[in-house]
Structure 1
Amino acid sequence: MYTYKMLDKISMETLHQVFVDAFSDYQVKMDLPFWKFQQMLQRRGYHPEISMGAFKDERMVGFVINGLRNWNGKATAYDLGTGVVKECRRQGITRNLLLNIQKLLKEKNVEQYLLEVIQSNESAVQLYSKQNFKIQREFSCFQLQKDKYIPQTTCTVECVEKIDLEQFRGFWDEDPSWQNSIDSIYAVPEAFIYVVARQDHSIVGYGIIDKKTGDIPQLAVNQNYRGKGVASSILTEMILNTESPKISVLNMEAHLKPMEDFLVKSGFVYHVGQYEMRLKL
C-alpha cells in the first residue's frame, strides 16, 4: 500500500538519494552529485509545495518534482523529474502521482503543466499522452569532448560579469526551453560564464556556459553578423573557460538546421532527442 504526500517536509538529501536510485538505470546516464542536484532544482524553479512523493512504510519510493513560473504569460508548472525506484515500478505509482498533482495544480489555479521526455522512452511518452499531454516541440541534445575541440577565433570576444538577456531576445530564432530560459539562468547567475562579441561598441553575439558542468543554455548572434565566425569565437572562449571536460547543448529545437550544422561542424555529436509536452489544466 502506497501513500502520497507533498515534499515540503522532505530533506534535500533524501530527495537526492531517491532521485539517484530511481534514475540509476535510466536511458541516459545521470551524473548527479548533490551539489549539481541542488543547482538543478534551483535553476529550474523547484517548488516543494506542488511536488509529491510516493511512500511505502515511510520510505519514499517515487516522486514528481515540479517547478512553478510564469511561462508565456500563464502560470505554469514544470516537471523537473518523475521517477520510481526499480522494485516498485509497474504498480501505477507514476499515474497516481500525476493525477494527484493535476488536481492540486488546478486548485492552485495553475494554467498548464510542462515537461520533457526522451523520444525513445516510448512507455513514458504513452503514459503522458494518456494523461492528455500534447507534444509542443522536438528538441535535440548534443555533446562534445573538450579535448577534441579545435579552437576557432576570428573576432574579439570577452567574458563579462553579467548580461541583460532581455535586450537580446531579437537574436533568438526560437524561445529557449524551460531549463535554458532567462528565468532559469537568473535563478543561479553565479553558476555561469558570460561571453560577448562586440562590433562598433555594440554586442552582436553572446554565449552562456556553466562554469562547472559545461552546459551551454544560450548561444545567439545578431542575424546581421552571422556567417562571420562570431559564434565560433564565442564558443571557443566559453569552452576554454569551463572546468568541464564535456560540453553539452541541451534541448535545441530540432528544426533549427543552421544551428545544428554549426554544432556538428564544431565537433558536437548528436546525443538524444526529447519532446516538450504540455497539458492544459
Structure 2
Amino acid sequence: MYNIKRLSECSLEDALQAWNNGFTGYMLDVQLTMESFLKRLVTEQTSPKLSLIAYHDNQPIGIVLNGTRNIDGKKVAWIGGIAVAPTFRGQGIGDQLLRETLSIYQSEDVKISTLEVLIDNEKAIQLYKRHGYVSVDRLQFYVHKDALDSSPFGDKCIKYEMKKAVPSEVRKLSFYKSMLPWQTQWDSVREGEVLIALDQEKEPIGYVIYKRNFNEQGVCTSTVLYQCEVSPEREDYKEITTCLLTQIYSPFDHKMKRMTMNLSVNNRVVLSLLKQAGFKMRLEQVYMGKMM
C-alpha cells in the first residue's frame, strides 16, 4: 500500500533516505549526506510544505522536491527532482508524485511550472510530456580542468570597467533574464559573486554571476559560471562577453576546475568562446515548462 505525505510531515532522515534510494543507479552521482541535503534545500529554496515523500509500509520509497518563487509578478514553481527507489520503479509512483505536485501547484496559484531533466532520460521526459510539459530550451554543462593559455578567449579584450556586486543587484538591470533555469537565478546563487561591465558613461552593459570554491588553504579549486549576459543593444557584444569571462576564469596559469551551470544553447557567443578556449561539454539537459 502506497501513501504520499508532505515532506514537512516527515523526518529529515526519511527524506534523505528517499532521495538517496530514489537516485540509486542514476546517470549522475547525486547521493547526499544530511549536511549536503539540508544545504540543497536552503540554497534552492525548496519548500518542505510543497515537497512530497511516497511511502510503502512506512518505508520512504519516492520523493519530489518542489519550490516556488515570485518572478515578474507570477508565481513560478520548480521541480527539483523526482526519484523512486529501484524496486518500486515502473509501478506509477513517479506519476502519482507528479499528479499530486500539480494539484498542489493549482491550490498555491502557481502560474508556471519548470524543471530540468537529463536529455538521455527519455522515460522522465515522456512522463513530463504526458502531464503537459513542453521543451523550452537545451542546457549544457561545460568544464575545463587544466591551466589555460594566457589569452584563451582572444586577445582583443577592451578594458571595460568592472563593478563588483552581490547577486541580488542584477535583477535591477534592464537586460536581466529572470526566467532562466532555477539553479542559475540570482536567488539560488546568493553566496556567489557578480561583476557588472560598465561603459564610458558608467552604464551597465553586461554582467556575470559566478561562484568560486576554495579549499582549506584558501586556494580557489573551482569557478562555476551561472549567468553571462550582455545588453542586446550592444554591437560589441562579443568583446564585452570576452572581458567578463576573462575576469572570472583568470588567472589562467592556475590549474583548477572551470565550469558552467545550465548554460542555454541560445547563448551562442559564450558557447563559442568556451569551445575556443578548450572547454568540453560534460552533459546536457532539457529545460521544460508548463503553463498552469
Normalising TM by the smaller chain, what interval? 0.7 to 0.9
C-alpha displacement at 1:261, in angstroms?
0.8
Name the counterpart of 1:225.
Answer: 236
Partners of 1:20 and 1:132 lie apart in 2 by: 28
Name the counterpart of 2:208.
Answer: 207
C-alpha displacement at 1:63, in angstroms?
0.6
Could you say what secondary structure the match of 2:46 adopts? coil
1:32-43 aligned within 5 A = 32=32, 34-43=34-43
What amino acid is aligned across from residue 167 of structure 1 in structure 2?
Answer: K
C-alpha displacement at 1:181, in angstroms?
1.8
Closer/same/farther in 2, CA of residues 116 and 34 from structure 1, 3 Å limit: same
Could you say what secondary structure the match of 2:238 adopts? coil
Of 256, 278, 282, which residue of structure 2 is paired with 1:267?
278
Closer/same/farther in 2, CA of residues 17 and 247 from structure 1, 3 Å limit: farther
Could you say what secondary structure the match of 1:227 adopts? helix
Give aligned pairs, total: 273
Could you say what secondary structure the match of 2:79 adopts? strand
C-alpha displacement at 1:157, in angstroms?
6.3
Deviation by residue 1:147-196 (Cα, 9 ceiling, x = unmatched)? 24334384366573525202334266x952222123333xxx2x212234
Partners of 2:33 and 2:69 lie apart in 1 by: 26
C-alpha displacement at 1:26, in angstroms?
1.6
- Is contact 1:204-1:225 (8 Å) kept? no
Could you say what secondary structure the match of 2:109 adopts? coil
Could you say what secondary structure the match of 1:232 adopts? helix
Name the counterpart of 1:255.
Answer: 266
TM-score (norm 2): 0.80
Please, which moves more after superposition, 31-40 or 69-78? 31-40
Closer/same/farther in 2, CA of residues 238 and 255 from structure 1, 3 Å limit: closer
Tell me which protein shows more helix as a share of its residues. Answer: 1
Name the counterpart of 1:160.
Answer: 164
What amino acid is aligned across from residue 276 of structure 1 in structure 2?
Answer: Y
1:9-48 aligned within 5 A = 9-12=9-12, 14-30=14-30, 32=32, 34-48=34-48
Please, which moves more after superposition, 46-55 or 252-261? 252-261
Runs of 5+ unmatched residues, structure 1: none
C-alpha displacement at 1:72, in angstroms?
4.5
Closer/same/farther in 2, CA of residues 2 and 31 from structure 1, 3 Å limit: closer
- Is contact 1:214-1:239 (8 Å) kept? yes
Closer/same/farther in 2, CA of residues 199 and 278 from structure 1, 3 Å limit: closer
Partners of 2:31 and 2:160 lie apart in 1 by: 34
TM-score (norm 1): 0.83
Percent identity between the two aligned chains:
23
Name the counterpart of 1:149.
Answer: 148
Of 209, 225, 238, which residue of structure 2 is paired with 1:216?
225
What amino acid is aligned across from residue 113 of structure 1 in structure 2?
Answer: S
